[in-house]
Amino acid sequence: MKDYLRRSWWLYLILILACAALPLIQRWEAVPVLSPPSFVFTWYAAVIPIAAAAAAAVTSAGRGRFDFAPLIAAAVLVFLSMVIPVLISGGGFDKPLYVPLIFAVIPAIEALILSGIAYAIFGRRKTA
């Protein structure tokens, strides 16, 4: 395993746990993901993108160039956190698969913007 990944494994763990908590929070609150004043929407639109942006910024700073792997991981994890509970419950898909895919890309785009800003500020600094 690369040294920069070994040093930032805990960020990936936080990202995985944040995405895994999304269906649990949604079931606990019993509202759709995209209902803006709810806690599940805040989790989806703020916590997951910030976790992905932190993982991307720290990993990118360790590599010396921007790393897209955490952002792709965030999109895949959010997609799976929306699809797997539906499959487990046996509900099947009444909507096409591209609907959860579109919703999975939204936090990844937010994380891309946040991590790009963080990398621009902190990533290019050289430590003496």
The residues, ordered by sequence, that sit 6+ positions from 48 with a Cβ below 8 Å of its Cβ are 15, 18, 19, 22, 74, 78, 107, 111
**pLDDT the model gives residue 51:** 85
**pLDDT the model gives residue 64:** 76
What pLDDT digit, counting tens, does each position of 14-60 carry?
888 888 888 888 778 777 767 778 888 888 888 888 888 888 888 77
Burial of 45 from C-beta contacts in 10 A (0-12 / 13-18 / 19+): middle
**pLDDT the model gives residue 5:** 60
**pLDDT the model gives residue 128:** 42
pTM score of the predicted model: 0.74
What pLDDT digit, counting tens, does each position of 66-111 carry?
777 777 877 888 888 777 776 666 666 566 667 777 777 888 888 8
Give a three-class secondary structure readout of 44-98.
Answer: HHHHHHHHHHHHHHHHHHHHCCCCCHHHHHHHHHHHHHHHHHHHHHCCCCCCCCH
Is the pLDDT score of 127 beyond 60?
no
**pLDDT the model gives residue 108:** 81
Is the pLDDT score of 114 beyond 60?
yes
